[in-house]
Each structure stands twice: as structure tokens, then as C-alpha cells.
Amino acid sequence: MDIGFILEISSLYLEAAKFTLKLASIGIILSLLIGLFCSLVNYYKVKFLKKIVNWYIELSRNTPLLIQLFFLYYGLPKVGIKLGAFTCAVIGLAFLGGSYMAEAFRGGLEAVSKAQIEAGLSIGLTKAQVTRYIIFPQALAVSIPSIGANAIFIIKETSIVSAISLKDLMFVTKDIIGIYYKTNEALLMLVVAYLIILLPLSLLLTYIERRLRYAGFGN
């Protein structure tokens, strides 16, 4: 193990880690928005839109991200739509994550009992107010663990974007191995970088989950 070399390449990893985080953050935020939209469409049984949403969820969950990225990056230009690699990666992640987030929200929404909704209506709240003050807070508490798991999943999935030449952690590692043949050092740094990103997040989620459990509603 060449410690000196590791120190030398660490700045490359720092850059790559920043990029990975940036990509993942945008991906997660978009996934949350898409997921929320889809789950609400399903929850309120919006005609027509509901069908599209369900097709989307099936399509997204049953195709690999790599294929989705290839389709966006190499396929679309054939029909005249040229997107930058970064845009493709963001769209791909949001497309994939959105359906997972939708399922996470769905679980939470379905956990809110009809009696709670009726209690809200009976004190004169409108449907929108019931959604905002009663359904959302209760659903979110149930959804948080799976939303967290999905966030971690999306961060890990970013490692695939190296396939469309984006300089994330995986890309830098392959680069260094290719140029210097220092496989061990490069892979070690790769693992460490992902751990540094994911471990704190994972611990934070455990903490939040425990807090929610203690706050456990149980009416």
C-alpha cells in the first residue's frame, strides 16, 4: 500500500466526491417531488393521470438505470434530442428514484386511517386542509424510513453515471487504475469515499427513525 500515492490522489477524490454529492442531491430532490406527485395522483385516484403514473412506476422500477442512461445518452440523439451527460444523469436518477419515492409515500398515505380523515372533516376542515394538517404529517412519519433508504439507494446508484463519462468517484477510480496500475489504493479510496458520504447519513436516519418510534402515535 503506497500511502504517499494515496495522499497524492486524495484531492482528485475530493473533487469527485463533491460531484457525486451534487448529482445525488439533485437526483434525490427531484425524486421526492416526482414521488410526491405520483403518490398523490394515486391516493386521490385522479382519472387518466393515475394510469400514466402507474405505467411510469412499472417502467421505471423494472428497467436498470444503466439501460435508462444509455437510452437517454446514446438513443435520444438518434431522434434529434441531444442532452448533456449531466442532464442525462439527472433525468435518469430522477426517473428511477421517483418511482421508489412514490412507493414510499404511498405506504405512508395508506397508513392514515379513514377515521382520522373523517375526524378532520367533522371539525369543518376542507379536503385540502385535511391533507395538509392531518394526512401529510402522519403519512410522512410512516414514510421516513423508506424515504431514507431510497436516498441512500440513489446515492449509490450514482456510481453508474461513469458509464456516460461523468467524472464521479467511480470514474476517477477507473481512471487512476488505468493510468497508474495502483488498483488497491484506488479501490480503497473509492470505498472510503462512499463510506464517508453514506455512514453519517445512515446514522442520522437511524436517529430519526428512533425518535419517530418514541413519538409513536398509537391513538
Partner 1 sequence: MALLEVIGLNKYFDGFHVLKDISFSVEKGEVVVILGPSGSGKSTLLRCINGLEEIQSGQIKLNGEVINEDSTKWHLIRQKIGMVFQSYDLFPHMTVFENILLGPLKAQKRDKKEVARQAEELLNRVGLLDRKNFYPRQLSGGQRQRVAIVRALCMNPELMLFDEVTASLDPEMVREVLDVMLELAKEGMTMIIVTHEMEFAKAVADRIIFLDGGEITEVAGAQEFFTDPKTERAKNFLNIFNFKEYKKGVDNNEKI
Among 3, 124, 165, 179, the residue binding partner 1 under the rule CB under 8 A is 124
Q: How far is CA 163 from CA 3, 15, 126, 197, in A?
A: 29, 18, 49, 21
* Residue from the set 137, 174, 184, 203 that interacts with partner 1 by CB under 8 A: 137
45 lies in the site for partner 1, by CB under 8 A = no
CA angle 188–192–196, rounded 5-degree value? 175
DSSP summary character for residue 15: H
214 binds partner 1 (CB under 8 A): no
Cβ closest to partner 1, residue 71 vs residue 136? 136
CA distance linking residue 4 with residue 52, whole number of Å:
55
Select the span of 56-64, 102-110, 114-122, 193-201 touching partner 1 (CB under 8 A): 114-122
Stretch of residues binding partner 1 (CB under 8 A), selected from 12-20, 34-42, 134-142, 171-179 = 134-142
User: What is the spatial distance between Cα 138 and Cα 105, in angstroms, rounded to a whole number?
Assistant: 11
Alpha carbon distance 57, 54 (integer Å): 5
Residue of the chain from 125, 163, 188, 198 that contacts partner 1 (CB under 8 A): 125
The footprint of partner 1 (CB under 8 A) covers 115-116, 118-126, 129, 133-134, 137-138, 141, 215-219
